[in-house]
């Protein structure tokens, strides 16, 4: 509640009865008290999603257009939430059969009876027992973004090997650049001097994304297609892995639906998009097509392009927040010493942040996870989109982090480099990164049990990065700390000691001198 | 916590269709547009109901009923007669009234205010004392005055919306709110007033 709200109410009152102005000192505390002690009335996110699902099912099952019985579908009276929910839940989870037919050489989804179509990929959370995903402390988690992370170890852009992706800018090479030398490394010390919120959750609820649950039966899909070279029906119990289709028209796309992964992604159909710079044979030509910062559209324009694309292609934004432009790449520009030579990316990314219980979900790199849409700066069109996923989850309870020392330990060790396996002669520079007051959110973690990546959505404390020393590069905006005790315990374990990869040699340079 | 002033008058995001346009699309057969209406108004409707039933499970049940009724009867919405939000809040209001009528526990919504304030287990412990004071203050008011206070201060409705919802004129609603504030100021028990004045305010 803001003071302007109070002012508004008071001014309305005075307008009605000017005499009340003389009693402002009496009215103000009453109004403040009334407003401040309004009961907390935020709906539970699980309820929000459940009701949304029920409504969506009702709308999707109703005849959509032109049917005479348009509204006769809605006949549940008197309303019984539990029964309706159960019935509709059964409809949602019931067996789904999808049939593709051959139509003039094109594969199309046939209209189902009454134009009804139930979404194959959708949002659903199914409760399971406690600790249903096994022992989290034994799960291999992706540690690549964890300790030691932050700025990474890279080379100044002008020194990087072309195939190294441009480098990060933290490893400087001194003395004779033709020699392979021990690097100067940078480590990041996280400074959090605030107070942690009360850690009162004995149990936290973790979501695990279910993959492959919507895999369509291959034979059903392929039955009507005579491939000729092989009898597809000779492979019993086969599931469809992937379907790709493309537009063979200017600025067309290639779309891939992965049933196994439960995801949809799309990319520009390369052949159908202009790439004049790819025909360049000399430096002058390349420079002519180099993008400059002036070419980068304003964020609002980028979002407008993405929004139109989302609308035009019916991308489902259920459980995703409003579009945000990912401007992390601009940090590189800010610290670049030679801005004229700075490589401006071809695409700017727009993210629709994934939400859990209404709060954003962060990936392991501290960025908001979600649907990512690339907008081509040259063409002012969407060039790719990914992160559209089947959102079927299992939910299970695990012990929560109640000991704040686990969090401080994680932060303390987060960006520091273990010294014991550094190459001889390495010099270490320590950069202090300041963190602000954390907020509750969620973190998307990947585990690699059985070599298959699994996605967990875990309640987490999200620490914003509030200060990075001038001239330093730290690629994160936030640090996410999972609040599941077993997971955090696992991440607090010492990193396995392994040889630090030797620095790459520059092309066309002599081999290192043996000492 | 979100401001009560964003509950009912949820503006259409830039470039997005208005409530009336979405409702019209639904009426014309594109029911998928109902999801946007749901997203915009869920919090407001839930809060509106919660303030009146003071119980989470019941609030969820009645909120569900409200949106299902709205979906079922979307054809009866006429944008010429008022805002979609007002139409939706009216459904919510009637649903709450029906709930109390059906329950027999209370003949009228008014009686929920006669429950001792400590009978509200939904409240956080830290909120209980403060809420009890506010509850006591509201309890002293007649039903129609209490409603207008809730609609204006907690639900954050404008006088125009309150007028449309309650069937009173806007001027009458303004006058009633003003008089109710006078009542609270002049007729509040001295003890309660002192209590209100003495307790620290939350950040406003």
Please provide residue A103's backbone torsions phi and psi, each rounded to the nearest 5 degrees. -135, 95
Burial of A25 by CB count in 10 Å (0-12 exposed, 13-18 middle, 19+ buried)? exposed
Rounded to whole angstroms, what are the CA distances from B76 to A245, B20, B72? 43, 13, 9
CA distance A356 to A456: 12
Long-range contacts of A104-109 (CB under 8 A, 24+ apart): A107/A225, A107/A243, A107/A245
Segment A254-309, tens digit of pLDDT: 898 888 888 888 888 888 888 887 777 777 887 888 888 999 999 999 999 999 99
Is A422:A386 a contact under the CB 8 Å cutoff?
no
- Could you check whether the bond before residue A78 is cis, i.e. omega within 30 degrees of 0? yes
Nearest Cα of chain A lies from the Cα of B47 at a distance, in angstroms, of: 5
ipTM: 0.73
pTM of the model: 0.51
Nearest to B174 among A16, A60, A81 (CB): A16
Contacts with B50 from chain A: Cβ below 8 Å: 39, 41
Least confident of A358-372, A389-403, B127-141: B127-141
B132 vs A318, which has greater pLDDT? A318
3-state secondary structure of A35: helix
Q: Select the residue from A14, A31, A43, A49 to test the B interface by mutation, using most B Cβ atoms within 10 A.
A: A43
Sign for the CA dihedral angle at B135, B138, B143, B146 comes to: negative
Beta-ladder partners of A435: A465
Segment A441-498, tens digit of pLDDT: 999 988 766 556 788 999 999 999 999 888 787 878 899 999 999 999 888 876 554 4
Burial of A471 by CB count in 10 Å (0-12 exposed, 13-18 middle, 19+ buried)? exposed
B156 vs A65, which has greater pLDDT? B156
Q: Cβ contacts of residue B203 below 8 Å, gap of 6+?
A: none
CA distance B49 to B64: 11
Q: What is the mean pLDDT of residues A336-340?
A: 79
Q: Residue holding tokens 């686990």?
A: A406
Q: Find the residue in B nearest to A27 (Cα).
A: B185
Segment A89-129, tens digit of pLDDT: 333 222 222 222 223 322 233 333 434 456 667 778 888 88
B112 vs A408, which has greater pLDDT? A408
Nearest to B67 among A3, A34, A55 (CB): A55
Q: Do B153 and A64 touch (CB under 8 A)?
A: no
Segment B52-109, tens digit of pLDDT: 887 788 888 899 999 998 998 888 888 887 889 889 998 998 888 887 776 654 445 5
Whether residue A66 has pLDDT greater than 60: no
How do A203-209 and A391-399 pair as beta strands?
antiparallel
Q: Do B131 and A304 touch (CB under 8 A)?
A: no
Q: Do B204 and A65 touch (CB under 8 A)?
A: no
Return the number of other C-beta atoms located less than 10 Å from residue B53's C-beta. 21
Segment A306-325, tens digit of pLDDT: 999 999 999 989 889 999 99
Please provide residue A245's backbone torsions phi and psi, each rounded to the nearest 5 degrees. -145, 160
Give the pLDDT of residue B134: 66
A463 secondary structure, DSSP code: E
Return the number of other C-beta atoms located less than 10 Å from residue A18's C-beta. 9
Give the residue from A372, A453, A387 showing the smallest Cα distance to A208: A453
Q: Does A316 touch chain B (CB under 8 A)?
A: no
Q: Is A381 left (phi over 0), alpha (psi -120 to 50) or beta?
A: beta
Burial of A212 by CB count in 10 Å (0-12 exposed, 13-18 middle, 19+ buried)? middle
CA distance A160 to A176: 16
**Angle made by CA atoms A139, A145, A151, in degrees to the nearest 5:** 165
Nearest Cα of chain B lies from the Cα of A291 at a distance, in angstroms, of: 29
Q: Does B177 touch chain A (CB under 8 A)?
A: yes
Q: Does B94 touch chain A (CB under 8 A)?
A: no
CA distance A454 to A140: 10
Q: Find the residue in B nearest to A79 (Cα).
A: B65
Give the residue from B126, B150, B139, B125 showing the smallest Cα distance to B51: B150
Contacts with A299 from chain B: Cβ below 8 Å: none
Mean pLDDT of chain A: 73
Sign for the CA dihedral angle at A14, A16, A17, A23 comes to: negative
Return the number of other C-beta atoms located less than 10 Å from residue B41's C-beta. 23
Q: Does B77 touch chain A (CB under 8 A)?
A: no
Go through chain A and tell me how many residues it has. 515
Q: Residue holding tokens 């190294």?
A: A164
CA distance A480 to A145: 11
SS (H, E, C) A361-388: EECCCCCECEEEEEEECCCCEEEEEEEE
3-state secondary structure of A23: helix
Size of interface A-B (CB pairs under 8 A): 163
């Amino acid at each position: 509640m803001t003071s302007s709200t109070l002012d508004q109410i008071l001014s309305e009152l005075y307008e009605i009865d000017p005499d009340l102005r003389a009693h402002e000192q009496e009215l103000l505390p009453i109004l403040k008290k009334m407003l401040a002690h309004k009961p907390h009335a935020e709906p539970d996110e699980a309820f929000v999603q459940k009701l949304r699902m029920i409504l969506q099912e009702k709308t999707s099952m109703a005849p959509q257009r032109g049917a005479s019985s348009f509204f006769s579908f809605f006949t549940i009276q008197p309303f019984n939430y539990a029964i309706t929910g159960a019935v509709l839940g059964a409809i949602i989870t019931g067996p789904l059969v999808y049939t593709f037919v051959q139509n003039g050489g094109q594969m199309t989804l046939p209209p189902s009876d009454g134009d009804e179509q139930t979404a194959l990929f959708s949002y659903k959370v199914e409760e399971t027992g406690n600790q249903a995903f096994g022992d989290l402390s034994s799960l291999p988690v992706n540690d690549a973004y964890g300790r030691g992370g932050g700025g990474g170890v890279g080379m100044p852009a002008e020194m990087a090997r072309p195939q190294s992706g441009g480098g990060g800018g933290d490893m400087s090479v001194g003395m004779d650049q033709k020699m392979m030398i021990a690097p100067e490394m940078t480590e990041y010390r996280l400074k959090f001097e605030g107070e942690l919120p009360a850690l009162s959750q004995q149990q936290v609820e973790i979501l695990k994304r279910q993959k492959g649950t919507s895999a369509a039966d291959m034979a059903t899909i392929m039955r009507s297609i005579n491939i000729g070279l092989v009898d597809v029906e000779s492979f019993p119990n086969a599931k469809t892995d992937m379907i790709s289709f493309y537009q063979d028209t200017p600025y067309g796309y290639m779309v891939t639906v992965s049933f196994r992964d439960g995801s949809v992604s799309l990319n520009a159909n390369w052949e159908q998009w202009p790439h004049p710079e790819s025909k360049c044979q000399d430096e002058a030509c390349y420079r002519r097509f180099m993008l400059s910062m002036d070419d980068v559209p304003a964020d609002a324009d980028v979002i407008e392009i993405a929004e139109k694309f989302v609308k035009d292609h019916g991308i489902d934004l259920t459980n995703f927040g409003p579009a945000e432009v990912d401007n992390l790449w601009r940090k590189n520009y800010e610290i670049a010493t030679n801005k004229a030579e700075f490589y401006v990316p071809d695409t700017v990314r727009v993210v629709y942040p994934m939400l859990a219980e209404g709060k954003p979900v962060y990936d392991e790199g501290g960025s908001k996870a979600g649907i990512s849409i690339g907008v081509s700066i040259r063409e002012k069109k969407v060039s790719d989109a990914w992160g559209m996923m089947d959102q079927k989850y299992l939910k299970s309870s695990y012990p929560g982090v109640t000991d704040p020392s686990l969090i401080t330990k994680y932060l303390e060790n987060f960006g520091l480099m273990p010294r014991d396996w550094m190459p001889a002669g390495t010099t270490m520079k320590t950069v202090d990164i300041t963190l602000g007051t954390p907020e509750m959110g969620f973190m998307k973690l990947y585990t690699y049990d059985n070599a298959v990546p699994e996605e967990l959505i875990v309640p987490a404390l999200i620490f914003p990065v509030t200060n990075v020393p001038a001239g330093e590069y730290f690629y994160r905006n936030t640090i996410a700390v999972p609040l599941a005790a077993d997971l955090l315990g696992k991440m607090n374990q010492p990193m396995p000691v392994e040889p630090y990869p030797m620095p790459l040699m520059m092309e066309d340079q002599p081999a290192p001198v043996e000492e | 916590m979100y401001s009560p002033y964003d509950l009912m008058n949820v503006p259409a995001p830039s470039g997005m269709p208005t409530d009336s346009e979405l409702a019209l699309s639904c009426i014309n057969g594109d029911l998928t547009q109902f999801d946007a209406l749901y997203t915009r108004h869920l919090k407001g409707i839930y809060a509106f109901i919660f303030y009146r039933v003071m119980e989470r499970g019941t609030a969820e049940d009645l909120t569900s009923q409200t949106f299902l009724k709205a979906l079922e009867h979307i054809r009866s919405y006429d944008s010429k007669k008022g805002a979609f939000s007002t139409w939706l809040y009216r459904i919510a209001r009637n649903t709450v009234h029906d709930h109390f009528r059906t329950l027999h526990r209370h003949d009228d919504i008014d009686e929920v205010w006669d429950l001792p304030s400590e009978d509200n287990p939904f409240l956080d412990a830290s909120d209980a004392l403060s809420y009890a004071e506010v509850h006591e203050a509201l309890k002293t008011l007649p039903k129609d005055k209490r409603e207008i206070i809730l609609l204006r201060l907690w639900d954050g409705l404008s006088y125009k919306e309150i007028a449309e919802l309650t069937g009173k004129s806007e001027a009458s609603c303004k006058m009633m709110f003003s008089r109710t504030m006078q009542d609270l100021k002049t007729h509040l028990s001295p003890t309660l007033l002192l209590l209100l004045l003495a307790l620290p305010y939350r950040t406003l």
